[in-house]
Amino acid sequence: MSWKAIHRWLGLTVGTLAVVLGVTGAILAVDPVQQAWQAPAAPGDLPVATLVERVTRTVPGAEEIRHLPSGAIVVFSFAGDQPQASYVDPADGRVLGAWQPSVLPRWVKNLHRSLLLGDTGRWRAAGIALTMLLLCVSAVVLLLRRMGGWRRLAARVRGSLAQRIHVVVGRVVLGVLCLTSLTALTMSASTLELVALDTRTEPAVLSVAAGKPALPGAQLAALQGIAVQDLRKLNLPSASDPEDVWAVATAQGQAWIDRYSGQMLAWQDATLAQRVYDLAVVLHTGESAWPWAVVLGLAGASVLLFWLSGIVMWWQARRETPRIVGNIPLAQADVLIFVASEGGSTWGFAQALQDALSQCGHRVHTSALENFHTTAATRQVFVLAATYGEGQAPTHASHALEHIAKLGTNTSAVPVTVLGFGDRQFPTFCAFAEALDQALRAQGWPALLPLERIHQQSGQQFARWGVALAQALGEPLVLDYVPRLPPTTALTLIARQDYPGVTGQAAAILRFTWPAQGLGERLRGLGLARFAAGDLVGVVPPGSAVPRYYSLASGWEDGFLEICVRQMPDGLCSTHLLGLKAGDSIVAFIRSNPGFALPRTRRPVLLIAAGTGVSPLAGFIRRNDKRRPMHLYFGGRDPARDFYFGPEIQRWLGEGRLATLQTVFSRVPDGGGYVQDALRRDAERVRGLMAQGAIVRVCGSRAMARGVAEALDAVLAPLQLSVAQLKAKERYAEDVF
């Protein structure tokens, strides 16, 4: 069973009981905080003998002195036949007021410790603590996978509100919850008598000099050598029993002291089990450390957030569970499609491929990659493989490579074609698909087509691959991929800036309202939730179910959503957008683009854009409130026709949001050529920025991105740096179209 399955199953089955323990634990954490404020703590270096002298002077008939975990001193005594318990000031022994064990209802403690079910409940509570520990361990594994390893653990979290809550809270409190689960198990082992704290019998001790005058506690050398910080409890000898002795319990052990001579009659060291238990109590309850109790209370309350956000995420995943329509049994199929997908989106492409092959007369069976297998009827195999985390296989296919290796060398010569899905912003773009393709070739499986990589689930790239597949098969195959759209939101156009462009390619910057959403909508991931510059907005044009994606020039903090759109030849979506007037609406949704986001750092940023590719970079500059050094290289054709965001960029330059600006325009005399030419001319300056650890973001056409990469490779060669190395260090990312 995978870690993801373990985490989900445990959360759904015992999550409610875990919430009960977490919330009651948060309530109980109030007690140590309250106790810490009720009475002054005793100085840690105060001798116990001095404390005894002060207490016996002010509290007649004192029988026991107890040093509470909060540091306060409580004295137990009798006034006539009435027992009393009082706080005393250790500075002078003065009585401060009555002491009560706890103001919290006893049933809260019983609910937390035994679910109000007595001994049976204690076993169940221990089982829940074990479950919580497994949940925490699986959560750590999944968190590292989601964020891409320890190095990216503090990176920005994207997704629906439920996902962000689940991940962000997890990053903060998972360590505390792991610790409380371990300490709960430690305490339960003692409570359930699985571990004995002390199997020794208490020694039988009596005063050896009965009849002599008893020494005052202040004169007992044994008590003078014990500091109050180590004291747990001190029992004074009874005035009515001349053979009674002083009994003192400390963190190190227990001692029995003769009341007449001051001689230590017996000593027992605290056992290792007792020491471990005492530490577990402090760590689990916050006793003796009220700031830690506050942390424990917040961590306990967070369990409710974990559970609620986890339920919402489970419901979202359940709603998106793939269902392949028209699947032929494996034994009867001549074409097999195997899928590896973490979030489920790759299954939609598999369905489109299956439908297209079926229309051409093939019998197609689609299954998960871990079921990889061929039969005598198999003629073609296709593997659609997404990459997860730091280049790993999706969770369900984590052992797929091992499974395929066990099949041995292919002797049937059945072609296996691999299609990879990923995000080229990450250094491990389609790494699992590449590893899979290499393993298959090493085992002798031929390929109908070479490995192709699909960036960010691009339907256009998938369609182009379909054209190549149709030619290879010699069949009229057409891939009609209709993505499963997330919930959409209506956006209303409130402003636009038009640019004439060149050669008839008009463009405009379009600004839309950002609809505020309620908590329920954001939890379920509906509509837009939060977004940032560099994320993508998917626009669904009228008459089409296929969204077109545009990079955002704004974030949710700006209060609006802004994109830059250029007219594309026969472009359905660009024509629709450029035809909008103020007050018109579009249907859209957000897709996060975390690999392109800027990390939180003061290092300089090198921004390189051409044409409408300046859009997300303008968004970065717009939100550069801390004035980190940003340097923009912008390339266009004519400054009078396509210098997008020109006035804003000049204003940001004056405000210090942008440190420097270099512009080039390819269609005007002495315009400077292209951005890669500007980079070569500024080679020394660029090398200086890169030597300072600069982050690089490139946005524009594929041809432009290739040209920039080639120019930077040449510029950085003296530093023994390359674009590939920068990508591996997560300092270089592209957003290309």
Q: Which of 330, 26, 397 is nearest to 180 (CA)?
A: 26
* Res 105: pLDDT: 61
* Res 520: pLDDT: 52
Kindly report the pTM of this predicted structure. Answer: 0.59
Q: Please, which residues have CB within 8 angstroms of residue 226's CB and are 6 or more apart in sequence?
A: 47, 48, 49, 248, 250, 255
Query: Quick check: 535 and 558 in contact, CB under 8 A?
Result: no
Mean pLDDT of 431-439: 94
Helices then strands, counting H and E runs in the chain, come out as: 22, 24
Span of 344-348, 379-383, 592-596 with lowest mean pLDDT: 592-596
Give per-residue pLDDT as tens, 615-631: 999 999 999 999 999 99
pLDDT tops 90 at residue 261: no
Span of 5-19, 149-163, 633-647 with lowest mean pLDDT: 149-163
Give per-residue pLDDT as tens, 60-108: 888 999 988 878 899 999 877 788 899 889 888 899 888 877 656 677 8
Q: In whole angstroms, what is the distance from residue 223 CA to residue 225 CA?
A: 5
Range 209-216, long-range pairs (CB < 8 A, 24+ positions) = 209/258, 209/260, 209/261, 210/242, 210/243, 210/260, 211/242, 212/260, 212/261, 213/260, 214/259, 214/260, 215/259, 215/260, 215/261, 215/262, 216/53, 216/56
* Res 524: pLDDT: 47
- Distance (Å) of CA 383 to CA 217, 350, 366, 367, 423: 83, 9, 10, 10, 18
Q: Which of 312, 308, 304, 289 is nearest to 21 (CA)?
A: 304
Q: In whole angstroms, what is the distance from residue 642 CA to residue 502 CA?
A: 8
Q: In whole angstroms, what is the distance from residue 596 CA to residue 737 CA?
A: 14
Report strand pairing: 630-636 vs 560-566: unpaired
| Delimiting residues of CATH 2.40.30.10 domain(s) in the chain | 489-595
Mean pLDDT of 292-312: 86
- Distance (Å) of CA 504 to CA 193, 567, 593, 700: 84, 8, 31, 19
Considering only residues 212 and 727, tell me which one the structure prediction assigns the higher pLDDT: 727
* Res 240: pLDDT: 82
pLDDT tops 80 at residue 502: no
Q: In whole angstroms, what is the distance from residue 619 CA to residue 609 CA?
A: 12
Pick the CATH number of 489-595 from 3.30.70.1560, 2.70.98.40, 3.40.50.2000, 2.40.30.10: 2.40.30.10
Mean pLDDT of 527-553: 84
* Res 160: pLDDT: 66
| Delimiting residues of CATH 3.40.50.360 domain(s) in the chain | 330-473
3-state secondary structure (DSSP) of residue 631: strand
Handedness of CA 648, 649, 651, 655 (dihedral sign): positive
* Res 526: pLDDT: 44
Burial of 107 per CB tally in 10 Å (0-12, 13-18, 19+): exposed
pLDDT tops 70 at residue 156: no
pLDDT tops 80 at residue 517: no
Query: Quick check: 535 and 528 in contact, CB under 8 A?
Result: no
* Res 504: pLDDT: 67
* Res 111: pLDDT: 80
| Delimiting residues of CATH 3.40.50.80 domain(s) in the chain | 598-736
Q: Would you place residue 31 in the very low, low, confident or very high pLDDT band (cuts 50, 70, 90)?
A: confident
pLDDT tops 50 at residue 36: yes
Report strand pairing: 246-250 vs 231-235: antiparallel
Domain 598-736 has CATH 3.40.980.10: no
* Res 523: pLDDT: 46
User: What is the percent of the chain with per-residue pLDDT over 70, rounded to a whole number?
Assistant: 93
3-state secondary structure (DSSP) of residue 697: strand
pLDDT tops 80 at residue 255: yes
The length of the chain is 737
Mean pLDDT of 305-310: 86
pLDDT tops 70 at residue 580: yes
Q: In whole angstroms, what is the distance from residue 49 CA to residue 220 CA?
A: 7
Mean pLDDT of 533-551: 88
Q: In whole angstroms, what is the distance from residue 275 CA to residue 122 CA?
A: 22
* Res 528: pLDDT: 52
Q: In whole angstroms, what is the distance from residue 294 CA to residue 28 CA?
A: 10
Tokens of 257: 């002291």
3-state secondary structure (DSSP) of residue 443: coil
Q: Please, which residues have CB within 8 angstroms of residue 609's CB and are 6 or more apart in sequence?
A: 617, 632, 633, 634, 635, 675, 698, 699, 700
pLDDT tops 80 at residue 509: yes
Give per-residue pLDDT as tens, 316-343: 767 666 678 889 999 999 999 999 987 6
Average pLDDT across the chain, whole number: 86
Handedness of CA 8, 9, 13, 19 (dihedral sign): negative
Q: Would you place residue 518 in the very low, low, confident or very high pLDDT band (cuts 50, 70, 90)?
A: low
pLDDT tops 60 at residue 593: yes
* Res 390: pLDDT: 64
* Res 632: pLDDT: 97
SS (H, E, C) 397-422: HCCHHHHHHHCCCCCCCCCEEEEEEE
Considering only residues 178 and 116, tell me which one the structure prediction assigns the higher pLDDT: 178
- The torsion angles phi and psi of 602, rounded to 5 degrees, stand at -95, 5
* Res 527: pLDDT: 45
* Res 525: pLDDT: 47
pLDDT tops 90 at residue 512: yes
N- to C-terminal Cα separation, the chain: 40
Pick the CATH number of 330-473 from 3.30.70.1560, 3.30.930.10, 3.40.50.360, 3.50.50.60: 3.40.50.360
Report strand pairing: 62-67 vs 231-235: antiparallel
* Res 737: pLDDT: 77
Q: In whole angstroms, what is the distance from residue 729 CA to residue 737 CA?
A: 23
Give per-residue pLDDT as tens, 357-396: 999 999 999 999 988 989 999 999 999 999 876 677 887 7
Span of 13-27, 189-203, 500-514 with lowest mean pLDDT: 189-203
Residue 400 identity: A
Give per-residue pLDDT as tens, 558-569: 989 999 999 988
